[in-house]
Every structure is written in C-alpha cells, then in structure tokens.
Amino acid sequence: MQATLAALYPWLKSGHIIFMVFWMAGLFMLPRQMLYCAGTAPGSAEEALWADRMGKPILVEGPAGVGKTELAKALAQALDRGFIRLQCYEGLDEAKALYEWEYAKQLLYTQLLKDKIGELTQGTATLAEAADRLASGDAVFFSERFLLPRPILQAQLSDTPALLLVDEIDKADPEFEAFLLEV
C-alpha cells in the first residue's frame, strides 16, 4: 500500500486536484462523507484506494494541466489494472463509446462465402424457404467477430479489472451523460 501511495503522492500534494467519490442510488448521490468514516482525508491517496476497494467511481476535478489524466494512469499502474481512456467531445454518442460494427469485414466474409451461400439455398422453391435456410447460419454474419469494442465495452469485457477514464465529460452532450449513468 505504501508503494501505491508513493506513486500517487506527486499528483495529490499540489492541492489543485479534488477527489469526489460518489455512489449513485437512483437519482440521488449519497454524501462522500461516508468514505471519511474510514479515517481518510479529503482528496488523499487513501481515499482513492478506499474507493477502489469498495468498487466506487472517483470523480477528479481540477484546472487544465494539473495532472488529472496522469493521476489516473498512475492509479491504474499502482493497482495493476489496465488503463482505458474514453475522450469525450461534443456529438459523442453511445455507438461511438460502446462499439463499432466492421461492415467492410462483414461484406468481405459475405463475398468469400458467396458460393457456400449459393449451395445452402440451392433447391429452395421460395424466397421464404431460402431465408429460413440462411437464418439457420446467421450467427456467422452477425457475431462478435465483426464487433470492434470501444472504451466502455472494452472495460466491461476485460478479463482483468480495468480503470476506465472518462475524460472531459463536460464536453459531452447531456444525452451522453445520461447514458453513462445507465451504464
């Protein structure tokens, strides 16, 4: 624990960074003083570690250039976690934050398997019958092999715990902020 605190100390000692640990319970945010019961000081490295142990998110605020992103990187390294960054901007939507669908790869597979598709539908009398035969193998064309995870899905699907940095959330649209609360 001392090594972790030492790694975080340079970003905390300036006093320009404020930690806020919060719990979402419906639409209400429970007071962060609940964390202070453990004997930690506001904005301390201990607070960050307690939040991690309790599985709670941390909101880090401060002016530009004080090291908020570097603090997140140091915390991920100190806790031996993967680091995933979601850069927010105006116009960012759920699809861009969750995943992308690789249409070109899907189309390539379709072209490569065109002969097999022809064999599968050979001898069908109606379009409905051909569609039913194709539907039995649709998992080939609509599967995770064409799914390109973006930061939020990467963090959720990670085999090991990961630190997800949602950077510059103030630049995101209100709809996207509401989406993040649902995730």
pLDDT per residue as tens digits for the range 97-113: 998 888 888 888 878 87
pLDDT per residue as tens digits for the range 112-140: 877 777 777 888 888 888 877 777 766 66
Rounded Cα gap, residues 102 and 71, in angstroms: 34
The residues, ordered by sequence, that sit 6+ positions from 91 with a Cβ below 8 Å of its Cβ are 173
The band of 2, judged by pLDDT with boundaries at 50, 70 and 90, is: low
pLDDT per residue as tens digits for the range 39-83: 444 555 666 776 777 777 777 777 778 778 888 888 888 888 889
Three-class DSSP labels, 24-60 = EECCEEECCHHHHCCCCCCCCHHHHHHHHHCCCCEEE
Q: How many CA atoms are closer than 13 Å to the CA of 117, on its beta-carbon side?
A: 14
Does residue 33 register a pLDDT over 90?
A: no
pLDDT value of position 3: 58
User: 38 or 178: which carries more pLDDT confidence?
Assistant: 178
The residues, ordered by sequence, that sit 6+ positions from 4 with a Cβ below 8 Å of its Cβ are 45, 49, 78, 79
Least confident range of 23-27, 57-61, 154-158, 169-173:
23-27
